[in-house]
Structure 1
């Protein structure tokens, strides 16, 4: 990622400030489909931002590694996890996903919320353990103007076709998919 983009994200997170734990809500995708998520195992939160998704997964009992390009967001995520009492389950790192997925073992959950990089699709599928769950949400061209960071109509189900679809949808400028790797 260009240094200018990294600075822009740092500035955005600095302006927002770390959210209080009471205001950290999991992404809708998680809350609506909570029964599909395991209560133990390992998870990755890609482009984790301030850590709301990672904290939600850790509260369920998963050990979570969160990655974001913004050092400011990572510092805020660490503080939110500490205040939520799940710092021992959350490990956050500054990492540029333009370099691919960070190395590591297969995981039981991959969360990718409001981030889309088509170059990672194969690596995401490969990183899921048998029975592992993918929860991905991105900006979409459906109901919005096309753009370089927006998923085309039907893109998420097509990109992750090797996985078993649980739920998904697109509209109003958003696309999402919940899918599981076969056991």
Structure 2
């Protein structure tokens, strides 16, 4: 079964995003003030658009991408329901081929998706001063696994960024970092 088929089945079973579930991922919620309210956002592996719609409600133009056509349909419906469809563009994209083309981003969100082949592209895609908010499953506080990052992996991978906040534990690693003007 392909990644797209796997995620399509999951999102069909899960159903659309409940209205009250729109918002920042829980791991970033305490730092929501650090997210910009204007500019352009890229939401990588956006799923059903919970974060993308939240960013649009804050005033950003958002491009959300996901491998699942079902998730993208749910995301577009959530944007229409919350009356921010004019600030959202959703696209089915397999990130195995790299990031989709587009302008520099003032914020990039990548929640619970990790592909180290995209690390350099994520940093390069950030506008100077842009914010990367990335979270991944972690071996810290959990058993090692195929999709889990090792202790310190995100901090090392994104050493070119100025860290705003970061943490590891309970099976999740996360980092929020800004691209310096000279990067």
TM-score (norm: length of structure 1): 0.96
How far 1:28 moved relative to its partner?
A: 1.5
- For 2:72 and 2:125, the matched residues in 1 are separated by 22
Match of 2:69 among 57, 68, 71: 71
Provide the secondary structure at the position in 2 that maps to 1:143.
coil
Match of 1:30 among 19, 28, 31: 28
- For 1:82 and 1:36, the matched residues in 2 are separated by 26
How far 1:147 moved relative to its partner?
A: 1.5
**2:138 corresponding residue in structure 1:** 140
- For 1:125 and 1:25, the matched residues in 2 are separated by 24
- For 1:160 and 1:143, the matched residues in 2 are separated by 21
- For 1:29 and 1:39, the matched residues in 2 are separated by 19
Provide the secondary structure at the position in 1 that maps to 2:72.
helix
Alpha-carbon RMSD across the aligned residues, in angstroms, is 1.0
Where structure 2 has 5 or more consecutive residues not aligned to the other structure, the ranges are none
Question: Runs of 4+ in structure 1 displaced over 4 angstroms?
Answer: none
How far 1:91 moved relative to its partner?
A: 0.5
**2:5 corresponding residue in structure 1:** 7
- For 1:49 and 1:180, the matched residues in 2 are separated by 24
Q: Number of matched residues? A: 181
Matched, 1:173 2:174: no
Write the mapping of 1:23-172 to structure 2, written as runs, cut at 5 A.
Answer: 23-172=21-170
- For 1:29 and 1:20, the matched residues in 2 are separated by 19
**1:20 corresponding residue in structure 2:** 18
- For 2:10 and 2:24, the matched residues in 1 are separated by 20
Contact 2:19 2:78 in 1 (8 A): yes
How far 1:8 moved relative to its partner?
A: 1.0
Contact 1:51 1:66 in 2 (8 A): yes
Structure 1 residues 68-120: Cα deviation after superposition (integer angstroms, max 9, x where no partner): 00000000000001101110111000000011001111110000001000000
How far 1:145 moved relative to its partner?
A: 1.3
How far 1:21 moved relative to its partner?
A: 1.5
Contact 1:47 1:68 in 2 (8 A): yes
